[in-house]
Structure 1
Amino acid sequence: MTGQSLAVEESTTLSPELSGDVLALAVRAGRHDGVKPLSEQTVLQARRLPDDVTTPTSTHLVVRDPETGAVAAYGHVDEGDPGAPSAELVVDPDHRRRGIGGLLLDHVLRRWPQARLWSHGDLQDARRLYSSRNLTVVRELWQMSRPLEGEWSDLPEEVELPEGLAVRPFRVGQDEEAWLELNARAFATHAEQGRMTRADLADRQAEPWFDPQGFLVVEDTTATDADGRARMAAFHWTKVESGPSGSVGEVYVVGVDPNYQGRGLGLTVTLLGLRHLRARGVGTATLYVDGDNAAAIATYHRLGFERMAIDVMYAAGAA
């Protein structure tokens, strides 16, 4: 295989066959590197059938082996934020050390000079590649974890909510729009979470791990929304998946309406979710938090969480 014979294909959708090839490549790379190379959002975008994409915000990049036609590398560019598109790249383990990663990265930087590129696990090969193009780290995303069993199952047996607030499970088919509005308010300044759409939510509801009983909604029984229902004040969406050593629970998303901040709801709903995960028999809880969010990290440290892994984001022009 020679660099001259390689080309980068661009498309806004993937055929079912190509989607399968891309996701299989990601699985192989994840097993080889010990970390998943693509975010959940990218995987869901890669799975979407062409008929399901109404307003494309993603560009899929594919590099094929010119001799076999097999997918040798994949890139994804999310243009949901036009001023700072985010990207992820992955090269099949069997096609590395051949310049394919550099080819793909150079293509992204030519097309999207402001792109911010994720390196999941901050792997040495990725660090070397991005540094060779003078890219620097502009964001860190910590993965933190804590045990939920044995001597570490030190969660309160009861969690009290402020007067007038009550917790219940998410109601599928009823809560979607109200939750999306709350999520947008709670994460108005967040690069990814605040842009979640109805299609993004539907993608996650279709996943095997989705459980409305673990999607805890706190509502204000003294106030109503435009539909005359109790107003959502906060939520804790938990996630449980099977891992190599048993089930792992995730503090998937915790959000509080800005109008209800300052009442300790973030800590309260986090505890409610952790108690739910423990009741499900989960042995370990994980979460993701931005490395510069000192207040949240301090709260999670108090709850027994410690950093276990890190993802970093690279970009050009950063000091």
Structure 2
Amino acid sequence: MTQLRVHAPAETANQLDRLRTLADRGVAADQNEPFGDQTWVELNSGNAWLITTGDDELTGASAVVIPTDANQPVVIELVVAPEARGGGLGRALVDATQELLSQQAADEQTVTAWTHGDHPAARHLAASADVEPVRILYRMAIDITSESFGDATVPDGYRIRTFNPGDDDAAWLELNATAFADHPEQGQLTQADLDARKAEDWFDPAGFFIAENAEGAPAGFHWTKTPVGSAAGEVYAVGVHPNTQGTGLGKALTLHGMNYLAASGLEKIVLYVDDENRPAVNLYNALGFGVENTDVMFSSNS
């Protein structure tokens, strides 16, 4: 039987290199990152529990973020190395995660878990853990075949410039919270979360665009992301202030960032969008994106 180790939040930093190696093996097999950006932020910040196999080269791991605020949901993400699948390791990690939650999470705290790629085995594990699907996230993609995806002219009264790290932080965080007030993750980003992303090797303010109005106030943004060594750029986040909706600013920002990525020598552009965000899904379909992957969130409170 595989021996599992539980690492308290203060201890996870010592495991991150091995965890990254395991995650990379999962990506190679599944074409999906097993852990989201925010989970890596929490792990790097010492705010997440980690359950791993005991071997020197990890073959399985479960990352568990348990907010101290019981009104905020637990977030679980799990990966098993390709060669270790089908032998019960996933089930063992789920059991160990449930045992950890019984000790560390509040009694009525909602538990959420992501399956990246919506694999049948992951759905089977989720069903056995008494959680139900509550959210669908699409990864959409489009091939880059030219250096422009179309006219990105902004509406009258607005202009687009690049993000100034430090100087723009507070105003951007306020705009982001307003634009994503109903989003369970993006709208809750803090200064610490922004700082963590600015410290990543993929961060480049040249690909982070701010739209401001005639008074110089931020009205929208398009943050692009190009992981080092990747042939794909990402529409990382696009948001506009609610009072600009219907002006065409969101589409202009989207195209502005896409044209930036198209001129960067990449092969394709990807983005992530919730199934329930039909206006955004419809816009991306109209721009030529197609769904290439589906992630599913499961919850104990469905």
Runs of 4+ in 1 over 6 A off after TM superposition: none
Distance change in 2, residues 1:290/1:317 (3 Å): same
Structure-2 separation of matches of 1:248 and 1:170: 22
Q: Cα offset for 1:76?
A: 2.0
Alignment equivalent of 1:35, drawn from 14, 21, 32: 32
Alignment deviations for residues 29-83 of structure 1 (CA, whole Å, 9 cap, x no partner): 33343422111111232233x5xxxxxxx33132443xx5775423222528743
SS of corresponding position for 2:227: strand
Structure-1 separation of matches of 2:299 and 2:78: 14
Alignment deviations for residues 261-301 of structure 1 (CA, whole Å, 9 cap, x no partner): 22121111101111111121222111100011111111111
Q: Cα offset for 1:260?
A: 2.0
Alignment equivalent of 1:234, drawn from 205, 214, 220: 220
Alignment equivalent of 2:119, drawn from 111, 118, 123: 123
Alignment equivalent of 1:276, drawn from 260, 266, 273: 260
Structure-2 separation of matches of 1:233 and 1:80: 33
Q: Cα offset for 1:109?
A: 5.4
Aligned-pair identity (%): 36
Structure-1 separation of matches of 2:237 and 2:68: 20
Alignment equivalent of 1:303, drawn from 287, 295, 302: 287
SS of corresponding position for 1:241: coil
Counterpart position of 1:181: 174
Q: Cα offset for 1:88?
A: 1.2
Aligned residue identity for 2:184: A
Counterpart position of 2:65: 77
Structure-2 separation of matches of 1:249 and 1:78: 31
Alignment equivalent of 1:102, drawn from 87, 94, 117: 94
Alignment deviations for residues 230-250 of structure 1 (CA, whole Å, 9 cap, x no partner): 10011101111356xx62111
- Contact 1:14–1:46 under 8 Å retained in 2: no
- Contact 1:90–1:101 under 8 Å retained in 2: no
TM-score by length of 1: 0.83
SS of corresponding position for 2:236: strand
Q: Cα offset for 1:106?
A: 2.4
SS of corresponding position for 1:172: coil
Please give the residue correspondences for 1:237-256 in structure 2 after superposition, counting only pairs within 5 Å. 237-242=223-228, 247-256=231-240
- Contact 1:148–1:282 under 8 Å retained in 2: yes
User: Does 2:59 correspond to 1:62?
Assistant: no
Counterpart position of 2:165: 172
User: Does 2:207 correspond to 1:214?
Assistant: yes
Alignment deviations for residues 204-243 of structure 1 (CA, whole Å, 9 cap, x no partner): 112221111110111112x2xxxxxx10011101111356
Counterpart position of 1:227: none
- Contact 1:22–1:74 under 8 Å retained in 2: no
User: Does 2:189 correspond to 1:196?
Assistant: yes
Aligned residue identity for 1:104: A
- Contact 2:140–2:290 under 8 Å retained in 1: yes
Structure-1 separation of matches of 2:17 and 2:253: 37
Structure-2 separation of matches of 1:278 and 1:7: 45
Q: Cα offset for 1:154?
A: 6.2
Aligned residue identity for 2:96: L
Q: Cα offset for 1:173?
A: 2.4
Aligned residue identity for 1:61: L
Structure-1 separation of matches of 2:211 and 2:33: 32
- Contact 2:12–2:49 under 8 Å retained in 1: no
SS of corresponding position for 2:226: strand
Counterpart position of 2:80: 91
- Higher gyration radius (CA): 1
Alignment equivalent of 1:155, drawn from 137, 149, 152: 149
TM-score by length of 2: 0.87
SS of corresponding position for 1:42: helix
Gaps of 5+ in 1: 51-57, 224-229
Gaps of 5+ in 2: none
- Contact 1:8–1:104 under 8 Å retained in 2: no
SS of corresponding position for 1:185: helix
Alignment equivalent of 1:286, drawn from 260, 266, 270: 270
Structure-1 separation of matches of 2:263 and 2:148: 13
- Contact 2:61–2:79 under 8 Å retained in 1: yes
Counterpart position of 2:132: 136
Q: What is the number of residues matched between the two proteins? A: 293
Q: CA RMSD in A?
A: 2.4
